[in-house]
């Protein structure tokens, strides 16, 4: 059984990934509203797939039936793999794992979906830090194939093998990463966004830069991507990496991004972003 903690954008998407692949999933959130709305949000995510013929109505109902929303961490005790997707704050993640660890079997794996925190730091203070690793899904989790598998220096090979096998069985491409800031993708992506933001500061427009990159073969331009992820999340990731890398110029935090966040135009979640109509559907894997 797979357990997911946090039923926000990422947690619900991760729950969908596993439920859709046939696994039994239990999920929880500290917010009663998030728990109550999770089944209907999952249905809303699946219905368009049925409508376009990517999934049968029966498969949708079966997927929905494999997600059980529970009220407390105690209800996650039988899990083989627990993935936390709660707030991106070290103390919050440490507290969740500290509460959870004594409830689980000794060989259960505790995975964090952190995109910027040290996995080793999250494991600190636990009795079985060897069972802790990172499983970094990308947004939107049901669409993006890649999952970064992050080992901290004390992660056990058995835990890594178990997490890899379960995630690959859910149809993902799993790439091993060291526990370094930005792992692989966020590290490579920062300078990419940065050059696009530098061009905006030099007077080019976001839509024209996106159009150029898409005509060059990219599925989405840098600004459509920022709109999809959220300018606030993008800023936090850039600031985190910049700090972790000693303010190296490769990870410069551009004013154009700060101004975008200050203006509240965060992208899809606010209905307005760098690109005027960011509500367009994300790329679909099917």
What is the smallest separation between the CB atom of 10 and ligand NAI, expressed in angstroms? Answer: 3
136 an active-site residue? Answer: yes
Known catalytic residue at 186: yes
Among 2, 3, 4, 7, binds ligand NAI (CB under 6 A): 7
Residue 229 within binding range of ligand NAI, rule CB under 6 A: yes
Q: Of these, 64, 77, 92, 121, which contacts ligand NAI (CB under 6 A)?
A: 92
Nearer to ligand NAI, 29 or 210 (CB): 29
Helix (H) or strand (E) holding 5: strand 2-5
Site for ligand NAI contains 167 (CB under 6 A): no
Query: Cβ 286 to ligand NAI, closest distance in Å?
Result: 21
278 part of the interface to ligand NAI, by CB under 6 A: no
Instruction: State the residue for tokens 């060897």.
Output: 130
From 115, 116, 234, 242, active-site residue: 115
Decide: 7 and 34 in contact? Cβ < 8 Å: yes
226 scored as a contact of ligand NAI (CB under 6 A):
no
Closest C-alpha to 80, from 8, 169, 175, 183: 169
The answer to whether 30 contacts ligand NAI (rule: CB under 6 A) is: yes
Residue 10 within binding range of ligand NAI, rule CB under 6 A: yes
What stretch of H or E contains 111? strand 109-112
Report the distance separating Cα 1 and Cα 25, nearest Å: 6
The secondary element (H helix, E strand) that includes residue 20 is helix 9-20
- Which of 57/98 has CB closer to ligand NAI? 98
Buried b (16+ CB within 10 A) or exposed e, 37-64: bbbebbeebbeebbeeeebeeeebeebb
Task: Determine, following the binding rule CB under 6 A, whether residue 194 of this chain makes contact with ligand NAI.
Answer: no
The answer to whether residues 176 and 149 touch, using CB atoms and an 8 Å cutoff, is yes
Q: Is 161 exposed, middle or buried (0-12, 13-18, 19+ CB in 10 A)?
A: exposed
Residue 216 among the catalytic residues: no
In angstroms, give the least distance from the CB of 9 to ligand NAI. Answer: 4
Nearest to 83 by CA among 143, 22, 170: 170
Please report whether residue 94 would count as binding ligand NAI according to CB under 6 A: no
d(CA 9, CA 44): 13
CA angle 147, 233, 230 (to 5 degrees): 95
Coil, strand, or helix at residue 176? Answer: strand
Chain centroid to Cα 208, Å, comes to 28
Q: Taking CB under 6 A as the rule, does residue 270 contact ligand NAI?
A: no
Segment near ligand NAI (CB under 6 A); pick from 4-12, 177-185, 192-200, 242-250: 4-12
What does the alpha-carbon distance between residue 102 and residue 263 come to, in Å, rounded to a whole number?
A: 44
Catalytic residue among 136, 152, 234, 242: 136
| Residue 210 beta carbon to ligand NAI: minimum distance, rounded to whole angstroms | 19
- Contacts with ligand NAI by CB under 6 A: the residue count is 25
**Of the residues 16, 63, 94, 114, which one makes contact with ligand NAI according to CB under 6 A:** 114
Q: Which residues are catalytic?
A: 115, 136, 148, 186
Residues making contact with ligand NAI (CB under 6 A): 5-11, 29-31, 34, 85-88, 92, 96, 113-115, 137-139, 229, 233
């Amino acid at each position: 059984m797979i357990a997911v903690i946090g039923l926000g954008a990422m947690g619900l998407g991760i729950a969908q990934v596993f439920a859709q692949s046939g696994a039994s999933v239990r999920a929880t959130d500290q917010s009663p509203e998030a728990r109550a709305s999770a089944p209907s949000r999952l249905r809303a995510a699946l219905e368009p797939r049925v409508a376009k013929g990517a999934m049968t109505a029966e498969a949708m109902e079966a997927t929905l039936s494999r997600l059980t929303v529970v009220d407390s961490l105690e209800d996650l005790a039988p899990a083989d793999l627990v993935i936390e997707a709660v707030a991106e704050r070290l103390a919050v993640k440490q507290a969740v794992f500290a509460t959870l660890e004594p409830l689980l079997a000794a060989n259960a794996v505790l995975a964090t979906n952190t995109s910027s925190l040290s996995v080793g730091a999250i494991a600190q203070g636990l009795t079985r830090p060897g069972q802790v690793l990172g499983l970094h899904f990308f947004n939107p989790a049901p669409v993006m194939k890649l999952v970064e598998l992050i080992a901290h220096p004390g992660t056990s090979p058995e835990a890594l093998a178990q997490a890899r096998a379960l995630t690959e069985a859910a149809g993902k491409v799993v790439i091993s990463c060291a526990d370094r800031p930005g792992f692989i993708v966020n590290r490579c992506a920062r300078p990419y966004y940065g050059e696009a933001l530098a061009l905006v500061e030099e007077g080019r427009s976001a839509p024209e830069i996106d159009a150029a990159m898409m005509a060059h073969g990219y599925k989405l331009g840098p600004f459509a991507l920022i709109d999809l992820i959220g300018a606030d999340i993008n800023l936090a990731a850039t600031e985190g990496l910049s700090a972790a890398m000693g303010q190296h110029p490769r990870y410069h935090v551009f004013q154009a991004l700060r101004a975008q966040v200050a203006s509240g135009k965060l992208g899809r979640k606010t209905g307005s972003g760098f690109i005027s109509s960011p509500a367009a559907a994300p790329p679909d894997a099917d």
